[in-house]
Amino acid sequence: MNMSNEEYQKYVMAMAKSSPTAKNLVWAFCVGGGICALGQGLSTLYERWGAGENALPLVSLTLVFVAALLTGLGVFDDIARKAGAGTLVPITGFSNAMVSPALEFQSEGRITGTGAKLFTVAGPVLAYGVFASVVYGCIYQLLR
C-alpha cells in the first residue's frame, strides 16, 4: 500500500480519537492548582508550628516525599493519567521522574538497575543546573 504523506495524514486524522481539550485543561488546572494549594497549606501549617524560615524547605521535602510514595504505590500514575500536565508541577513531577525509572528497573539489581536508572531523567537536569549555576556565578563575579 503506497500512500503519500498527505494521504497518510488524512488517514491518521480520520482514525484518531478526538481529545477533549477543554476537559483536559480543566483537570490539569484543578490538579495542578490543588498541588499548589496543598503546598501553601503545608507552608502555613509549618509556619504555625514554629518552623520559621525552614517552612518552605519542609514543604518541598513533604511534596517530594508524598509524590515519591504515591509513585511507589502506583497511585501517582493514575492521577497523572487523568490530570495530565497538572501533575507536572515542578517538584512533584521531578520526584515522579526520579522514582519511576528506579522502580521500573529494580529487578536488575540495586546498582545496575535502581542506582543506574535513578538519574535517567534527573541526571541531565541536575548536571545542566549545576553547570548553569557555575556559569552564572562566574559571570556575576566578573560583572561585580
Cα 144 to Cα 139: distance, rounded to the nearest angstrom: 9
First-to-last C-alpha distance (Å) of the chain? 66
Output the pTM of the full model: 0.71
For the stretch 108-130, pLDDT in tens is: 777 777 777 777 777 787 788 89
pLDDT at 83: 85
Sketch the domain layout of the chain as residue ranges: 24-143
Tell me what the pLDDT averaged over the chain comes to: 87
Percent of residues, the chain, with pLDDT higher than 70: 99
Query: In Å, how far are 67, 70, 79, 107 from 73, measured between CA atoms?
Result: 10, 5, 12, 17
Confidence bin at 1 (pLDDT 50/70/90): low
**Region of residue 3 (phi > 0: left; psi between -120 and 50: alpha; otherwise: beta):** beta
Write out the three cell numbers for 26. Answer: 480543566
